[in-house]
Structure 1
Amino acid sequence: MDRTFQVDLRGVVDLLSHHLYASPRVYLRELLQNAVDAVTARRATDPDAPAGITIDSTGGTLTVTDTGIGLTEEQVHELLATIGRSSKRDELGFARHEFLGQFGIGLLSAFLVADEVTVTTRSATGAPAVEWVGRADGTYRFGPAERAEPGTTVTLSARPGAESWLAGPTVVELAALYGSMLPFPVTALGQRVAGDGPPWRQDQRPAGERLADLVGYAQDTLGFTPFDVVELDVPQAGLTGVAYVLPFQANPAERAGHRVYLKRMLLTESADGLLPGWAFFARCVIDAAELRPTASREALYDDSLLEETREALGERLRGWLVGLAATDPARLARFLGIHHLGVKALALHDDDMLALVDEWLPLETNMGRMTLGEFRARHGRIRYTTTAEDFRQLAAVASAQGLAVVNGGYTYDTEIIGRLPALDADLVVQRLEPSDVMTRLSPVDPAEELALRPFLTTAQRALDRLGCEVVLRAFDPPALSVLYLLDRDAAFQSELKATRAKADQLWAGVLAAFEKPAEDRPQLVLNHRNPLVRRVCALTDPAMIALAVEALYGQALLLGYHPIRPADAALLNRSFLGLLDSAVPKEDTP
């Protein structure tokens, strides 16, 4: 036997308020939406019909009156009392995209703030006026009404605890928030809150005045003065609007807050996914006719059209950047000083942006800050470090040996340097390894090194337990006493040993298979041109040699920003206290 579903309206309202809508404030948006659809439907058949919406609130009672197409008695029974059927959508013969409402649940949002909703309406077809009163318990009554002109009036009386949502200041604020860009007059408590359309509308304003209006909108609505304004237009989505370039650095991990309108009605103030991920330096305000909302009308439905729109908006911003490079290099430099991360992220995938970064974005090098283009012109091949720590350690030594090095340790820099051959196929890009620097360091005179063999043997014995090799070289600058060189293989082996020490017997055996011979150890390079090192080399007391070499080892770790292991921390403490004990006279010493 077939039966009909029974709907518990109070349960549906509870579902809407707790799971579909983020806040009860959407009730006014839904009432405005219905009124806008009614006005749109009437003007489609009668372009000269009056268009306007009036909102009043007094004593906990709210009324929303429109000059729209109205409803007949049959339509009231069919549409207002049927959940899930969008009013005036198909029954009045219009395609769905002509109207804001798409899910037939908008009027139910009124029950978020009221227990009773009264709809007084008169159809533009000339049918008599009727009144429909719906209650939150799922019942309604119907009867004739007095209304002279076509249109609809919706009346709400606040339920206990919801009076603040129907208070005058709140109503004006919500009406301005949701309906400020509607193309016909909307009046809330005597204040006009809409009717002029969006600030980017095409009209007879001079270009300077139009730009001032766009900047003023950002100041008033978004709270900042934009670095620049980029106008947007995506015909396939019926989209127009602007992208405001932020005047301050944005966090790529933060959710972007784009302001989205659908057919001039505010959808959300914090839409994400509207722009590509790299474009986090811009905030958009757009109006679209073809993009689809979710059922709650508080977000955009992520479909193929939204993906196409996202790509088109990204292309527009990319074009703006390329154009800025060609027309206003000084302004581009200011932009890059603020939003270099976004541009570098785009350069990872876009050759035009890569060329822009190559020509305009200065990077840190051991020869001073310069662009990659300038670096290539001066030094030919590009040598780079992959971490800022390696750069800090090797920059001065490499410079003294005539090696120009780029610091690739900042976000995206290493990846961008690796892509440079896409611009110049003959370019040689080479990662600078500590072993490359080692080959540039001059060996000590053989006779002198032979004389220092006892010292080196004692020093090596002191650092053997730390897995470090002691090497003596002569290099510039003389002020640098020591270097700690750790290439990729040695770093891997060091990490492998530390992990093996913590693992159980089974995994320790597995990890042991990856260990290599001891020649992959890190190197502590003593600079024989440094006066302090030469004095240390002259020591003969094994205990003092061990303390001095351990102290130099600790200094090298700190100067190179290397991680300090527990064994290294103990060594630093021991060498410091030992040297201090040797330097301070004992109590019985005259």
Structure 2
Amino acid sequence: MTNKDTYRFQVNLSGMINILSNHLYSNPRVFLREVMQNGVDAVTARTQIEPDHTGHIHIELTGDITNRTLIIEDNGIGLTEEDIHEFLAQIGQSSKRGEAAFTGETSFIGRFGIGLLSCFMVSDEIVMVTRSAKGGPTLEWRGQPDGTYSIRKLDTELSPGTKVYLRCKPGSEMYFDPEYLAEGLYYYGALLPYPITLQYGEQSKVINDQRPVWLHEPELARSHRDEVLDFGERLMGERFKDFIPLRTSSGRTGGIAFVLPHSVNLNAKRSHQVYLKSMLVSDKAENILPDWAFFVKCLIWTDELQPTASREHFYEDEKLQQVREELGDSIRSELMRMADYDSDRLQHIIQLHVLSMKALATEDEQFYRIIHRWLPFETTFGRRTLGEMLKEHDTIYFTLTLDEYRQITHVAAAQALLVVNGGYIYDAELMSALPLVNDAVSTNRLMPEDVSLSFVDLTPDERRAYYELTRTADTALQRFRCQIQLKRFKPSELPALFTLSKESSELRSLEAAKEVSTDTLSSILGSLGSAMEQSAYSTLYLNLDNPVVSKIFMPGNEAMMVVAVEMLYVNALMMGHYPMNRQELATLNQGILRFIELGLSAGGSGEAR
């Protein structure tokens, strides 16, 4: 075919409404935001041609609980008949035209021209009465959910502006409840620059009557502390005790970061309320602050970010990345300011949100330098801050993993050796970087085998006396590729210490994986492990100062030597929190039975005597 036919897309409006209510918008209540947005944009457009114009939006609820109508009126620029055909009859068309509308560089909130359709989620008909400030008759527009609409000219000459009438449809009664309506209007419009008045019967009140003076100058919030905290509680439903002002270098994005009064998990959702040109567009914004800032919940207002079609989220673009970095800089700078002028306040925040502070310290060396002395760590001397440790030590030891710390904690504490548990997230990294921010201290990673350097060797006479028994004990553990060393060390209550070399640790991991793998994979892992078996030996240090070990190595106890050493081995594994393989678990169970048998045998011999 050489000819081609051109067709126009047909839009199923009822299908569009279903998409709006079930997919695009998070909640039917957003129709309030959309009609207020249209009113605010209309007033803004009028002030651009009439700079002295005083705008307002009036919302009235009429009728009883079974037949309620909502009237939304603004004294904005209004619409001509041509405007109605262009902007209300074409899905995707917007009165905020031009490239600026799609890049966010506009004073209008709406961009996509579909906001009025959201009203069909709560009403079976939309009636709009409008008159343009540019002149012309008063017009009535009636829209139906089947995609039809009508326009008629009214004889009544109204003041310029627009009225939208929405009659509650069955199932939407909640959205026309006076209290729910007032809450929703405040929720979306608390920061709007024009007064929003709600009238129901004889009652009338301005929804956004308390527009804070510090909205455009967040730094002023410091001198209005109680007002800011009350404002945060009303908007976010939580009582806060502290906050941090936020502002980007351009001044086009600002806000208040409220410090959460409770500690939060690292994986907790980071939800913030964001206002675009003073209208709430999202209460679940998760990507507007750096990941480390999970200890705050923010109110943020902006006129420079680009919203998605639902206007509930923002595009992840260079502008958002820049804003996110600058808001993070605001928080970082305020914390550093506290270090100089309000250290008690900073210490309280650190104690409550130490994980977030450590996350930031790993990213920012300057911040770490300023606040490091207040950061707490788990140590062999209990929970201590770096400041407390630095007063007593110029060298700090730390382990890289939690398992390493568990292996040596009892021995290190008994030797009066301060060791930091580096097994928690960020801690080992911070310990390694500490000399970079404080040149008066050095840090060293401590391996379990390093602790053995403080153990006391046996005398030559003791080595000769225990030689044969040590060989017997050593032979008992050969099948576990573990060697015995007889030492004296503190605490005497600890009978044994198990340590792994790098090779033996890797081999244990391979063997553990082999036990739960398929035959094919198990064969591969076995081949890898066989090459390491000759050198992959662990060490079991037996403490001759311990009464149990001392008794085992007394002459005459050779019969119980093997069983006792095997039990000390598996006990040391448990003390070090090592996962045991099948062979070691079997040894534990058999050892208990053999001890019972030895006890019964000894009891029987006693009766015979």
Q: Classify the TM-score, shorter chain.
A: over 0.9
Contact residue 481 and residue 536 of structure 2 kept, 8 A: no
**Deviation for aligned residue 1:513:** 4.3
Q: What percentage of aligned pairs have identical amino acids?
A: 38
Contact residue 307 and residue 315 of structure 2 kept, 8 A: yes
Return the letter of the residue paired with 1:197.
Answer: R
Deviates more, 1:7-16 or 1:156-165: 156-165
Deviates more, 1:78-87 or 1:91-100: 91-100
Contact residue 339 and residue 371 of structure 2 kept, 8 A: no
Q: Does 1:390 align with 2:404?
A: yes
Task: State how far apart, in whole Å, the 1-side matches of 2:141 and 2:265 are.
Answer: 51
Contact residue 38 and residue 88 of structure 1 kept, 8 A: no
Task: State how far apart, in whole Å, the 2-side matches of 1:378 and 1:209 are.
Answer: 41
TM-score, normalised via structure 2 length: 0.89
Query: Structure 1, residues 235-265: CA drift from partner, whole Å, max 9, x if none?
Result: 5361121111112111121111101111111
Deviates more, 1:575-584 or 1:472-481: 575-584
Number of the residue aligned with 1:193: 207
Task: State how far apart, in whole Å, the 1-side matches of 2:425 and 2:364 are.
Answer: 17
Number of the residue aligned with 1:138: 147
Q: Does 1:409 align with 2:418?
A: no
Contact residue 80 and residue 87 of structure 1 kept, 8 A: no
Task: State how far apart, in whole Å, the 1-side matches of 2:521 and 2:190 are.
Answer: 69
Q: Does 1:152 align with 2:162?
A: yes
Q: Alignment partner for residue 175 of structure 1, among 173, 185, 192?
A: 185
Task: State how far apart, in whole Å, the 2-side matches of 1:198 and 1:251 are.
Answer: 32
Number of the residue aligned with 1:125: 134
Task: State how far apart, in whole Å, the 2-side matches of 1:284 and 1:219 are.
Answer: 12
Secondary structure of 2:17's counterpart equals helix
Task: State how far apart, in whole Å, the 1-side matches of 2:597 and 2:85 are.
Answer: 98
Deviates more, 1:125-134 or 1:276-285: 125-134
Return the letter of the residue paired with 1:180.
Answer: A
Secondary structure of 1:563's counterpart equals coil
Return the letter of the residue paired with 2:108.
Answer: F
Task: State how far apart, in whole Å, the 2-side matches of 1:453 and 1:90 are.
Answer: 92
Return the letter of the residue paired with 1:32.
Answer: M
Task: State how far apart, in whole Å, the 1-side matches of 2:274 and 2:71 are.
Answer: 27
Query: Structure 1, residues 490-534: CA drift from partner, whole Å, max 9, x if none?
Result: 211222233345453576356534532544312111111222211
Contact residue 216 and residue 254 of structure 2 kept, 8 A: no
Task: State how far apart, in whole Å, the 2-side matches of 1:368 and 1:8 are.
Answer: 68
Distance 1:498 1:4, change over 3 A: closer
Return the letter of the residue paired with 1:153.
Answer: K
**Deviation for aligned residue 1:17:** 1.9
Return the letter of the residue paired with 1:25.
Answer: R
Task: State how far apart, in whole Å, the 1-side matches of 2:378 and 2:99 are.
Answer: 67
Distance 1:26 1:541, change over 3 A: same
TM-score, normalised via structure 1 length: 0.92
**Deviation for aligned residue 1:104:** 0.7
Return the letter of the residue paired with 1:291.
Answer: L
Deviates more, 1:521-530 or 1:369-378: 369-378
Deviates more, 1:288-297 or 1:444-453: 444-453
**Deviation for aligned residue 1:56:** 1.9
Which consecutive residues of structure 1, in runs of 5 or more, have no partner in the other structure?
A: none
**Deviation for aligned residue 1:371:** 3.9
Number of the residue aligned with 2:86: 78
Distance 1:21 1:508, change over 3 A: same
Task: State how far apart, in whole Å, the 1-side matches of 2:238 and 2:385 are.
Answer: 31
Secondary structure of 2:261's counterpart equals coil
Task: State how far apart, in whole Å, the 2-side matches of 1:160 and 1:377 are.
Answer: 72
Distance 1:513 1:566, change over 3 A: closer
Task: State how far apart, in whole Å, the 1-side matches of 2:556 and 2:353 are.
Answer: 58
**Deviation for aligned residue 1:111:** 1.4
**Deviation for aligned residue 1:428:** 4.6
Secondary structure of 1:4's counterpart equals coil
Q: Does 1:512 align with 2:520?
A: no
Contact residue 199 and residue 214 of structure 1 kept, 8 A: no
Deviates more, 1:544-553 or 1:355-364: 355-364
Q: Does 1:265 align with 2:279?
A: yes
Contact residue 260 and residue 266 of structure 1 kept, 8 A: yes
Distance 1:425 1:183, change over 3 A: same
Query: Structure 1, residues 436-489: CA drift from partner, whole Å, max 9, x if none?
Result: 222332221222222223322332233222232221111223232211112333
Q: Alignment partner for residue 52 of structure 1, among 53, 56, 62?
A: 56
**Deviation for aligned residue 1:542:** 4.2
Secondary structure of 1:118's counterpart equals strand
Return the letter of the residue paired with 1:488.
Answer: K
Query: Structure 1, residues 248-305: CA drift from partner, whole Å, max 9, x if none?
Result: 1111211111011111111111111111001111111011111111100111222111
Deviates more, 1:537-546 or 1:397-406: 397-406
Task: State how far apart, in whole Å, the 2-side matches of 1:10 and 1:369 are.
Answer: 63
Distance 1:505 1:243, change over 3 A: closer
Contact residue 361 and residue 371 of structure 1 kept, 8 A: yes
Contact residue 181 and residue 195 of structure 1 kept, 8 A: no
Secondary structure of 2:291's counterpart equals coil
Return the letter of the residue paired with 2:193.
Answer: P
Task: State how far apart, in whole Å, the 2-side matches of 1:34 and 1:207 are.
Answer: 30
Return the letter of the residue paired with 1:433.
Answer: M
Task: State how far apart, in whole Å, the 1-side matches of 2:261 and 2:423 are.
Answer: 26
Number of the residue aligned with 1:292: 306
Alignment of 1:333-412 (within 5 A): 333-367=347-381, 369-372=383-386, 375=389, 378-401=392-415, 403-412=417-426
Task: State how far apart, in whole Å, the 1-side matches of 2:51 and 2:282 are.
Answer: 30
**Deviation for aligned residue 1:350:** 0.9
**Deviation for aligned residue 1:426:** 8.4
Number of the residue aligned with 1:11: 15
Number of the residue aligned with 1:68: 76
Task: State how far apart, in whole Å, the 2-side matches of 1:304 and 1:391 are.
Answer: 43
Number of the residue aligned with 2:109: 100
Task: State how far apart, in whole Å, the 1-side matches of 2:484 and 2:213 are.
Answer: 70
Task: State how far apart, in whole Å, the 2-side matches of 1:116 and 1:576 are.
Answer: 81
Number of residue pairs matched by the alignment = 590
Q: Alignment partner for residue 565 of structure 1, among 581, 603, 606?
A: 581
Contact residue 64 and residue 155 of structure 1 kept, 8 A: yes
Q: Does 1:575 align with 2:587?
A: no
**Deviation for aligned residue 1:382:** 3.2
Distance 1:330 1:235, change over 3 A: closer
Task: State how far apart, in whole Å, the 1-side matches of 2:490 and 2:364 are.
Answer: 41
Secondary structure of 2:541's counterpart equals strand
Which consecutive residues of structure 2, in runs of 5 or more, have no partner in the other structure?
A: none
Q: Alignment partner for residue 2 of structure 1, among 3, 6, 9?
A: 6
**Deviation for aligned residue 1:209:** 6.8
